[in-house]
Amino acid sequence: MSQEWLDIQSFFADNQILRAITDLSLATKYELAGICDEERARRAGEAKGALRQFFVHLDQVCDEASHARPLSLDHRSRELVDAIQAARCDRANFRSVLMRSGLRAGAELLDASDRRSREALLESLDELRRVVSRHQQGSLSAIVEDF
């Protein structure tokens, strides 16, 4: 598969994660504000599933990377893993549960019901959005450069 095609796939995969982050963030904000929106709740449920799957996959990949095992990843996927690991080490700019405690702890927040945990979820999603958005910009730049 060509690098250009991998960049395009990476761009769309990042877009799906960003959409899930947005759907869950909005639903959580509505919920915390006491606003009931059935459509938002439905989309939040789908977003949780997508994010849970994303967290499990990335957790496995990050675990492999931390044990110096060879990774069977394309260039763009490896860059995303590296970006997440760098964010986890950047304690000054990334302070959320997801970045401090890892992807498993972030996944646990997806089902949290108390206000404090829901706010921690929002902070984690915001930081994850920053990392994935930067990664997506890299994919877009690589795609545009090819034209």
Domain with residues 3-145, CATH architecture: Up-down Bundle (1.20)
Whether the pLDDT of residue 46 is over 80: the answer is: yes
% of the chain at pLDDT higher than 70: 92
Mean predicted confidence (pLDDT) in 72-100: 89
Residue 74 vs residue 91, higher pLDDT: 91
Instruction: Tell me the average pLDDT across 49-75.
Output: 78
**For residues 65 and 58, which has the higher predicted lDDT (pLDDT)?**
58
Helices 38-66 + 3-32 axis angle, to 10: 130
What ranges do the domains of the chain cover?
3-145
Structure tokens at 32: 């915390």
The predicted model gives 57-73 an average pLDDT of: 71
| Residue 31 · residue 131 · CB < 8 Å | no
The model's pTM: 0.89
pLDDT bin (cut points 50, 70, 90) of residue 146 is: low
pLDDT of residue 65: 67
Residue 35 banded pLDDT, cuts 50, 70, 90: very high
Work out the burial of residue 80: count CB atoms within 10 Å of its CB; fewer than 13 is exposed, 13-18 middle, 19 or more buried.
Answer: buried
Other Cβ atoms less than 10 A from the Cβ of 55: the count is: 21
Closest CA to 17 of 72, 71, 68, 83: 83
Q: Tell me the mean pLDDT in the region 32-38.
A: 95
Kindly state the percentage of the chain with pLDDT values over 90.
62
